Structure 1
């Protein structure tokens, strides 16, 4: 699909008011996206596990206005006004206005909440923008009932990307690929797609325990971090590596080769942080406890032959990935060895999920 496919046709008569609710999950990238071109176009393709427990639930109430010359909305986070987040929503709505032109016809009340603790260090922009985009698409579906499911989800992913790049991978599940790749048919820079190749059953119920090492605000935002890839001394090689790793991942995912999966996923995580440490200005988002956890995972894996690995996002928290068959052993290890490295002993058990769902009142 192209951007023209997302321009709507004539709407039926606009309803006076209504309310829609969607729940969208977070995701964790296996092959990382780092670096982008305007507007929200990835410098390299990526692939992620859709999560299940870590999610954002968003309700959008809408009522017709007398005038249609401005965007109008109120925003509530967990029941309280969230003024400091409104500029980001304003920018997002202005960006997508061409594709959802009913926006100025209504005043919106956006109510959102996360299943994970606020300021936990888990990025909520992906799940939040995905949930909001699905609510807006749900409204558009009411105005254009003939819209088919493929267009609905592709456009939701497209809109979500314009709010937060990785949000386009939080629409569907359980493996989502984003970014044009010559060896992946129907792949696109504009939206995420469900991974189109064979996936071994071992990966369909994979577990992810998120160790909350640092819950404060990051020293540098992901937006700034992406910008630092422009002119990065190792940028082009990194982008080529991501394309290559997606090719290497295809037989790994098909065969269930956990040893090669671990090597690729951990290498990708460390490469992401290497890019941050070698940009100008440079920065380190890992904390001492992040490194302690990584070394303990390596030691545990070597001694017990348990197929557990780590990955990282652009922060200090550690995602521990492991098959469900290893759940009891890994969770015992976390309790015995790793909990002391988590801020206030906090962690979240999650697993691969199936994507966003509509919540019916």
Structure 2
């Protein structure tokens, strides 16, 4: 703490004692005295041109090295020898260390395992799950979920990885998803990143991140967001089931339209695409309202007839599976 008494240590104008004067005299030779015409500046020092050039060249070299490394790493990640084993990471001594084509892996109650899907991702088996490796080679990795639940995180081009469940197939489009199936063939898929395509007996359904799809041995349901209301979810399931049986209860259609919100646009599009005849009912104008589209008689009639062009004009308003699958780079860290 500074003393309030004048002190020559803080005020050079005050005379000091003999010792201080002697030190001042000895150190005076090292004192910096700027020229009288010197002007202080807060501007940063200018970097010499040659140094700037070296910095730029070093940065360009580092970037080129990163690009070259990626160009080598990517093909390596996607390549896989035909029939090569998948590594199993587990602390359960009774479980195998690897999975061969044709082998079945089963986790009992209280057991879990992490399977490396070639080099393109990982798949977690929860307790009470059974899977079978069907095929594995570069660009084509397939297994069957016999029963139980798996969580897969894949970073690869669309179609590289798929899970069969009886007659249905869930195709990864570069994403992270969870899938379960019981012994009767009933199950559900929840997508947390990217997209999947669910295919069963010629019926194909896209499911985006944040949505779930229920399925059975015969068909897949309508993808519904996890934030959808219970009322909307129930109304969609009832209408979908009725339409499958050749019935079209008007009360179900109206309930779907009444319960739908902006976050349910994808489900409405999926319903109208699967059942074009519904375009003549209350769901079409509700979707037009949510999309901000005008209701055009010609467009509505074309949709009712199953016009792909009419459907695509509204599908283009929705996000679609990205062609640049690598943009979901976080999934490569799984």
Normalised-by-shorter TM-score class: under 0.3
Larger of the two Rg values belongs to structure = 2
Q: What is the TM-score when the length of structure 2 is the normalising length? A: 0.27
Choose between structure 1 and 2: higher helix proportion. Answer: 1
Bigger RCO (CA 8 Å, 6+ sep)? 1
